[in-house]
Structure 1
Amino acid sequence: MPHRTIHLFRKGLRLHDNPALLAALQSSEVVYPVYILDRAFMTSVMHIGALRWHFLLQSLEDLRNSLCQLGSCLLVIQGEYVEVVRDHVQKWNITQVTLDAEMEPFYKEMEANIRGLGEELGFEVLSLMGHSLYNTQRILELNGGTPPLTYKRFLHILSLLGDPEVPVRNLTAEDFQRCSPPELGLAEHYGIPLPTDLKIPPESISPWRGGESEGLQRLEQHLANQAKHHSLPPVSLQGQLLWREFFYTVASATPNFTKMAGNPICLQIRWYEDAERLHKWKTAQTGFPWIDAIMTQLRQEGWIHHLARHAAACFLTRGDLWISWEEGMKVFEELLLDADYSINAGNWMWLSASAFFHQYTRIFCPVRFGRRTDPEGQYIRKYLPILKNFPSKYIYEPWTASEEEQKQAGCIIGRDYPFPMVDHKEASSHNLQLMKQVREEQYRTAQLTRDDADDPMEMKLKRDHSEENLTKTKAARMTEQT
Structure 2
Amino acid sequence: MSPSPNIVWFRQDLRLADNPALTAAAGDGAPVLGVYILDDETPGRWQLGGASRWWLHHSLTALGRSLERHGVPLVVRSGRSAPVLARLAAEVGAAAVFWNGHLEAHWRQTEREVEQALAAQGVAGRAFGLPLLFDPTHVVGRGGGAFKVFAPFWRACLAAAPPPAPLPPPERLQGFGGLADGSTLADLRLLPTMPDWAAGLRAAWAPGETEAQARLAAFLDHDLAGYAALRDRPEPCATSRLSPAMHFGEISARQVWHATAMRMALEPHLAADGHTFLRELGWREFFARLLLEHPDVAEAPMQPRFADFPWARASSGLQAWQQGCTGFPIVDAGMRQLWQTGWMHNRVRMIVASFLTKDLLIPWQDGEAWFWDTLVDADMANNAGGWQWVAGCGTDAAPFFRIFSPVRQGERFDPQGDYIRRWVPELKRLPARWIHRPWDSPPRELDVAGVRLGATYPSPILDHESARKRALAAFASLRSPQPPK
Give the TM-score normalised by structure 2.
Answer: 0.82
- State the partner residue of 2:136: 136
Instruction: Report Cα offsets for 1:108-156 as digits up to 9, x if no partner.
Output: 121111112123222111111252212334434x743311111222134
CA deviations on 1:361-385 (whole Å, 9 max, x unpaired) are 3322111211222222121121112
Query: Separation in 2 of the partners of 1:437 and 1:397?
Result: 31
Residue 150 (structure 1) aligns with: 149
For residues 363-419 of structure 1, the C-alpha deviation after alignment (integer angstroms, 9 at most, x for no partner) is 221112112222221211211122223233222222233455434333321122221
Q: Contact 2:310 / 2:474 at 8 angstroms: preserved in 1?
A: no
Q: Distance in 2 between matches of 1:340 and 1:196?
A: 21
Counterpart pick for 2:322 among 282, 307, 313: 282
Q: Is the 8 A contact 1:260 1:266 kept in 2?
A: no
Deviation at 1:58, TM superposition (A): 1.1
What is aligned with 2:65?
Answer: 65
Q: Deviations over 1:164-191 (max 9, x none)?
A: 222123223xx213xx4233754xx333
- In 2, the alpha carbon distance for the partners of 1:125 and 1:264 equals 38
- The DSSP-based 3-state class of the residue aligned with 2:88 is helix
Aligned-pair distance for 1:344? 1.0
Structure 1: tracts of 5 or more residues without a match: 444-457, 464-482
Structure 2 CA distance for partners of 1:80 and 1:96, relative to 1, 3 Å: same
- In 2, Cα distance between the equivalents of 1:8 and 1:331? 29
**DSSP 3-state at the match of 1:34:** strand
One-letter amino acid of the structure 1 residue matched with residue 173 of structure 2: F
Alpha-carbon distance change, 194 to 4 in structure 1, aligned in 2, over 3 angstroms: closer
Change (3 A) 1:16 1:435: same
Q: Secondary structure at the match of 1:329?
A: helix
Whole-Å Cα distance in 1 between the matches of residues 331 and 354 of structure 2? 10
2:217: which partner in 1?
A: 220
After superposition, residues 28-427 of structure 1 pair within 5 angstroms as 29-39=30-40, 45-129=45-129, 131-140=131-140, 143-159=142-158, 161-172=160-171, 175-177=172-174, 180-183=175-178, 186=181, 189-193=182-186, 199-200=192-193, 201-205=195-199, 206=201, 207-229=204-226, 230=270, 232=272, 236-260=276-300, 263=302, 267-268=306-307, 269-318=309-358, 320-355=359-394, 356-427=396-467
Distance in structure 1 (CA, Å) of the matches to 2:163 and 2:13: 18
Task: Report deviation, 1:329.
Answer: 1.0
Q: How many angstroms apart in 2 are the aligned matches of 1:9 and 1:106? A: 16
- C-alpha distance 143-119 of structure 1, shift in aligned 2 (>3 A): farther
Distance between the aligned counterparts of 1:248 and 1:265, measured in 2?
20
- Offset, 1:298: 0.5
Report the CA distance between 1:433 and its aligned residue. 3.2
Q: Deviations over 1:414-443 (max 9, x none)?
A: 1222211110011112312322332xx234
Structure 2: distance between partners of 1:4 and 1:125: 13
RMSD over equivalenced CA pairs, Å: 2.6
Moved more, 93-102 or 193-202: 193-202
Distance 1:234 1:358, change over 3 A: farther
Q: Which residue of 2 aligns with 1:442?
A: 480
Q: CA deviation at 1:39?
A: 4.7
Q: Find the counterpart in structure 1 of residue 25 from structure 2.
A: 24
Counterparts of 1:41 and 1:377 in 2: how far apart (Å)? 45
Specify the code of the residue in structure 2 equivalent to 1:161. Answer: A
Residue type of the partner of 1:348? W
Task: Give the Cα separation in 2 of the matches to 1:344 and 1:197.
Answer: 21
Q: CA deviation at 1:94?
A: 1.9
TM-score by length of 1: 0.83
- SS of residue in 1 equivalent to 2:97: strand
- In the TM superposition, residue 105 of structure 1 has moved relative to its aligned partner by 1.0
Q: Which amino acid aligns with 1:420?
A: P
Tell me by how many angstroms 1:70 deviates.
2.3
Cα 1:82–1:266 change in 2 (3 A) is: farther
The alignment partner of 2:184 has SS state of coil
1:344 counterpart letter in structure 2: N
Contact 2:39 2:81 in 1 (8 A): yes
Matched-pair identity in %: 29
> Residue 477 of structure 2 aligns to which amino acid in structure 1?
Q
Change beyond 3 A, Cα 1:126–1:233: farther
2:168 partner amino acid = R
Superimposed CA distance per residue, residues 311-365 of structure 1 (whole angstroms, 9 cap, x where no aligned partner): 11111112x1111111111111111111111111111111111121254333221
Q: Which residue of 1 aligns with 2:235?
A: none
Distance 1:36 1:28, change over 3 A: farther
Native 8 Å contact 2:315 2:360 kept in 1: no
2:339 alignment partner AA: R
Residues 406 and 194 of structure 1, relative CA distance in 2, 3 Å threshold: farther
Q: Against the structure 1 CA distance between its residues 327 and 203, is the aligned structure 2 distance closer, same or farther, given a 3 Å change threshold?
A: closer
- SS of the equivalent of 2:128 reads strand
More moved, 214-223 vs 355-364: 355-364
Cα distance per residue 1:278-301 (max 9 Å; x no partner)? 111111111111100100000110
Structure 1 counterpart SS, 2:433: coil
Distance 2:442 2:188 in 1: 47
- Give, as a single letter, the amino acid of the residue that structure 1 aligns with 2:34: P
Question: In the superposition, relative to structure 1, how do residues 249 and 49 fare at CA in structure 2: closer, same or farther (>3 Å)?
Answer: closer
Computing the radius of gyration from Cα coordinates, the structure with the larger value is 1
**Contact 1:266–1:349, Cα closer than 8 Å, also in 2:** no
- d(CA) in 1 for partners of 2:304, 2:21: 33
Q: Conserved in 2, the CA contact under 8 Å of 1:196 and 1:202?
A: no
Cα contact 1:289–1:397 (8 A) shared by 2 = yes
The gaps in structure 2 that reach 5 residues or longer are: 227-269
